[in-house]
Structure 1
Amino acid sequence: MTLKMTAEELDAFMHREFPQMAVDFAIDRLAPMEIDLRLKVEDRHLRPGGTVSGPSMFGLADCAIYLATLAMIGPQGLAVTTNGSIDFMRKPAAGKDVVAKCRLLKLGRVLAVGDVLMMSDGMDQPVARATMTYSIPPR
């Protein structure tokens, strides 16, 4: 399988279509069926106690699967989440970015299924794990 979009093209797509979110994320690595996406943690991502909020980590996982899918199928803005599940395992490190390591497990004609492991930058232990399914619009 080959990529249909580069990291630069994905970043430009996000800035054009989702400018309100694009500034939160950076692509660390892109390969066929895989992406490492970084949540650039700011104060707005924190919950009381100074840790990264659950909704911020869910958004990171969702965006990682979305971008991994688009990298393989091309810029289709109407690909949408149809299912998502997340397990929070431990508190993210204070003041550190969260890195999502995403891999697509299935990329079909109408569905993409992916798995995301999230870690605080510099930590070996995962802070969360998510699985998501995306619906791919008809061509």
Structure 2
Amino acid sequence: MNPLKLTGPEVQALIQKAFPKADPDRMPKVTEAAPGRLRMVAPFQPEMLRPGGVIAGPTLMSLADTVAYAIVLAHVGEQLMAVTSTLTMHFLRGAKPGDLVADAGLLRLGARSAVCDVRIWTESPDALAAHATVAYALPAA
């Protein structure tokens, strides 16, 4: 298992530093970080909703990308130029209004890329709203 180079609070601070114009009260928060795993919670905002009263797909995709970036940073350190290379999203059921929880698992961490598994829900981890596989290209050393 790959050890963490940054703690959850350090990852949170680094993301806020990288995106200084983002409202910190509305940003997803790192709530858990461990080798190979990271959890973020995005506070519910009414503007997340799409017609039909469920959370919009672009919001779920953004959270999947954000939690993948966070887990990569936790394992590689301050490499802010790590960039998304692929994001494959499966929408499994409507995400009911509520805080969004995203669990990321690190499937592979190499010298030039990282691959993450992301699961997102509002009600329960047994009732996933979405699943994503996200790959990140890492900057050359």
TM-score (norm 1): 0.93
Asked whether 1:105 is paired with 2:101, we answer: no
Letter of the 2:91 counterpart: F
Percent identity, please: 33
Using the alignment, how far apart are the partners of 1:121 and 1:40 within structure 2? 13
Using the alignment, how far apart are the partners of 2:36 and 2:78 within structure 1? 15
The counterpart of 1:91, out of the listed 91, 94, 97, is: 94
- Whichever structure has more strand as a proportion of its residues is 1
Q: 5+ unaligned residues in a row in structure 2: which ranges? A: none
The counterpart of 2:63, out of the listed 60, 64, 73, is: 60
1:56-87 CA-to-partner distances (Å, cap 9, x unmatched) read 10011101111101100001110000011000
Q: 5+ unaligned residues in a row in structure 1: which ranges? A: none
TM-score (norm 2): 0.91
Which residue of the partner structure matches residue 136 of structure 1? 138
Asked whether 1:12 is paired with 2:8, we answer: no
Letter of the 1:102 counterpart: A
CA RMSD of aligned residues (A): 1.4
SS in 1 for 2:104: strand
Offset at 1:119? 1.1
SS in 2 for 1:58: helix
